[in-house]
Structure formats: C-alpha cells, structure tokens
Amino acid sequence: MVIHALSQDLTQGLFPPDRQLIPNLNDIYELELAFYENLILSEAELIKNGAYFSLIGGESLKLPDHSSSRLKSFFEKNIFRTGYATHGLFPYRGKFHPQMIKGLINVMGLKPGDTVLDPMMGSGTVLVEACLMGIKSIGIDASPFCRFMTQTKIDVLTMSLARAKATLTNYEEVYVYFQKKVGQPKPGSKPPKVNTTKDSLSAMEEIAEYVTKKSPTPLTEKDQDTLNTYHFLLLAYLDSAGYSERSARKAPLEQFRSILERYLFVADKIQKVLTGLEVELAQAVVLEGDARALSLNENCIDGIIFSPPYSFAVDYLANDSFHLNFMSIDTNALREKMIGLRGRNLPEKYQFYREDMGNVLSECARVLRPGCFCTIIVGTNSNQLGKVFGVAPDEVTGLHDILIDMGANYGFKPAKVMSRPITGISNTMRREYILILQKTSH
C-alpha cells in the first residue's frame, strides 16, 4: 500500500503525462493556477501563453523555426522569473509577481483581443504582462509617478536603445544633469522642489516639455525617440537615487552607472527575445486617474485585476516622496485621493478606506462586462485592524472577507478564493488572498 502510494507522482495525477510544470514552481497557489490553466486553455494556448508549463506535448513555447539555439534554451530554462522583461525596472512596493498575473489572465478566460483593466496599476505589472500576451490593457493610478514608471516600462519593450546606450560613455554628464534638478540625495534629507506646471509628466524636463508641447500629436519618430530616451534615463536616475537614499554602500554616481547598465541589459534582452519570437505586442493605455471614479464607459472591460492598498499598511506617498518631489507633485493634494491615506486616526482611516473601496468596487462593476471576472489581491494588517476593531490581531476579520461582503452589494459573487504566502515583508502579514469575483447582475 505504502509502496504503491509512494510510487505515484503528484503532478502526473493532476496533469496529462505530456504536460510538464516549470521547475521553479514552489507554492500551492501556483499549482492551483496551473491546474485551472490546464483545464481552461487549449493545447495551442498553453504553448503560446501558459504561465506554469514548460513542456506541452514535447514542445516548449512556440518559437519560429529559424530561432537560434540560444533563444530556444532561454525558453526551455524558463525565463519567467520576477525580473524578466521590463518588470525588474524599478522596485515598487507591493508589486505583483508577473507569473501570477499571467496565470490569472489565463484562468479568467481572457484571450488576445480582450481588454484587461488595472485601476490601481502601481508599477504596471498587469499591463506589461498583458502586452506580452497580446491582450489589450488599461492601467490607472492616482500617482503621476506610477503613470510615468508604467509608461516607461511599456515603451522600453519597443523603443530604440541606441541613444540610451551611447550615454554610457558620458553617464557622469547625465547624472549631473539630473542631479542639478534635485540636488544630490542625502539620507534623510528632502530634495528641493523644482518648478511646478500643470502637466506633471512634461514638467519633468525641458526636452520632454519641448517635445510634448510641439504638437500636433502624434510626435515625429525623432521626438518620440528623444522622449523615450529621456524617460528611460530618468527612471534609471530615480531608481539609483532611491537606492542611494537607502544605502551608502556605493557612491551615488556609481550606483547610477550600474543601474543604467542593468536597465540596458534587461531592455536589450527582452527586445531580442520579442524580435526572435515575432511577438505582436498588444496596446497598453496608461492613465493618471482615480479608481473611485473611472473615466471609462459601462461594460467595456473583459477582466479586472488589481491590488488595493492593504488598508493603511504602506504610505505610498512617503515611499515615493523623492520621486514625487522631483516631478513637482503636490503631495498634499494627492494624499486626498490616495486610498488608505485619508483620515487623521486609525478609526477614521478605516472608515474612509471602506467608503473608498465601496466606490472602487462599484466602478469595477460598472465598467466590467456581465459574466466577466474581477480579481483582487489583498492582505490584512491584523495589528492595525485589531486596534480599529478593538480585538486581538488573530481575531481580526480579514480584508479579503470584508471585500467579498462589500462586493456582493455590487453584483460580485466569489468564483474562487486562493491564498499565497507573502515573503519579504514584516511578519504581521503572512498571507495575501486572491479573490476571483464574477460580475453576475446588470
């Protein structure tokens, strides 16, 4: 009996023998997503867009016949790590695991040509992943910095890298140029503000301002190239400035050089892969806006994936203060829009959070087509909420349960609830939940 049981293979019990899981699949939620992918996707779809399988019927991902052996081995060894494509450009707090997003897009039944929305896109993981899968996407965030970061990560998939590469020979000048605008970041010090104009993206720099004002849009190829190069360098600079604020291990100039080199390496790599695979990227629309009042029509979205702030566990404005200051953003005005940051004390913050999340769910229900899915990833800071509810941390009702109850008011019914471990954050939050809600009514 024991020998018979031990001779069985778990994955062969779950999947057909010609479907092999990726080697670094570590968590149960990943096995669950693979299980549903296997049930929902056709063989051709699994080969093209599957998140958790490395071999299907003896075939790895579909590569053109003329692909180099280097490209083939790149895929066979599984490239889907956290930092692949442009996901690794900028360490944003609360960033999704890209492979999980890919699996969710599949499990929600989204197909090339459909449109997925992330109304709180942060660093744009959903958009980058959807774009690579041929699925159209719309991303929205209240923070102008998130819009800039996500747009840049999308543009880097296709932009010309020639001018950015050339700056490696005079990276000191580039560094000094940006540094002059804000002053060298020193630990604990606030950078001075630069001039303020209405459009935060163009206000960042004269060249960018010049090209964006020089409408009529669309920009000429050369102007677009100038703008893309500028944004690429700026993201690398802001990333390095963030590192230098947190750690004095490397001199800021050296930090900038190594981050710029890494950005160029990563961008070059994904561009080569995309050319080799002849992938057609889908359109990604990146907007600054408010998830509580979406500027979208009713029933125009085929799927929604987002992760709201986990009540008030992270102050996204304090985290990004250097970058927001650099962009001359009025953080006091922005604070009023940011979910989880409104309110003077914990009970008031919680009240606003509930009210805001009610509006977000109502907006999600309005723009989503009936029958489609809205996936929310959320965790609970039990210590904070315990204080609000006046109970011990282990007796706190999780935000996932609170959001499921609230969602019912807007016609959302839970289709699946999964959980995954959170690694790398303080142990007050050990798990987060993946809620796949279906829009049933209207």
Q: Is the peptide bond before 144 cis (omega within 30 degrees of 0)?
A: no
Return the CA Rg of the chain: 23
The correct pick among 114, 129, 141, 363 for binding ligand SAM (CB under 6 A) is 141
- The helix/strand/coil state of 381 is coil
Cα pseudo-dihedral 327, 328, 333, 339, rounded to 10: 20
In the bound complex, what is the minimum distance in angstroms from residue 307's beta carbon to ligand SAM?
4
Q: Does 181 bind ligand SAM (CB under 6 A)?
A: no
CA 130 to chain centre: 10
Q: Which is nearer to ligand SAM, 298 or 355 (CB)?
A: 355
Residue 273 is encoded by which pair of tokens? 């892969």
CA distance 391 to 395: 6
Tell me if 303 sits within 8 A of 110, measured CB to CB.
Answer: yes
Region of 59-67, 77-85, 139-147, 277-285 interacting with ligand SAM (CB under 6 A) = 139-147
Please list every residue from 328 through 387 that binds ligand SAM, using CB under 6 A.
337-339
Region of 67-75, 165-173, 253-261, 287-295 interacting with ligand SAM (CB under 6 A) = 287-295
Alpha-helix residue ranges (DSSP H) falling in 280-424 = 316-319, 321-326, 331-337, 346-367, 382-389, 399-408
| Residue matched to tokens 């969710």 | 104
Q: Does 191 bind ligand SAM (CB under 6 A)?
A: no
Q: Is the peptide bond before 218 cis (omega within 30 degrees of 0)?
A: yes
The correct pick among 50, 94, 242, 411 for binding ligand SAM (CB under 6 A) is 94
Tell me if 318 sits within 8 A of 93, measured CB to CB.
Answer: no
Query: What does the per-residue mask of binding to ligand SAM show for 291-320, with x meaning CB under 6 A?
Result: xx--------------x-x------x----
Q: Does 143 bind ligand SAM (CB under 6 A)?
A: yes
Q: Which is nearer to ligand SAM, 41 or 89 (CB)?
A: 89
CA distance 242 to 236: 10
Q: Does 92 bind ligand SAM (CB under 6 A)?
A: yes
In the bound complex, what is the minimum distance in angstroms from residue 415's beta carbon to ligand SAM?
20
Rounded alpha-carbon distances, angstroms, from residue 136 to 41, 81, 282: 19, 22, 5
CA 57 to chain centre: 31
Region of 25-33, 140-148, 176-184, 365-373 interacting with ligand SAM (CB under 6 A) = 140-148
In the bound complex, what is the minimum distance in angstroms from residue 309's beta carbon to ligand SAM?
5
Q: Which is nearer to ligand SAM, 143 or 240 (CB)?
A: 143
In the bound complex, what is the minimum distance in angstroms from residue 261's beta carbon to ligand SAM?
24
In the bound complex, what is the minimum distance in angstroms from residue 38's beta carbon to ligand SAM?
26
Tell me if 22 sits within 8 A of 52, measured CB to CB.
Answer: yes
Q: Which is nearer to ligand SAM, 9 or 355 (CB)?
A: 355
- Position closest to ligand SAM via CB: 122
Query: What does the per-residue mask of binding to ligand SAM show for 100-129, with x meaning CB under 6 A?
Result: -------------------xxxxx-x----
Tell me if 98 sits within 8 A of 82, measured CB to CB.
Answer: yes
Site residues, ligand SAM (CB under 6 A): 92, 94-96, 119-123, 125, 140-143, 146, 290-292, 307, 309, 316, 337-339
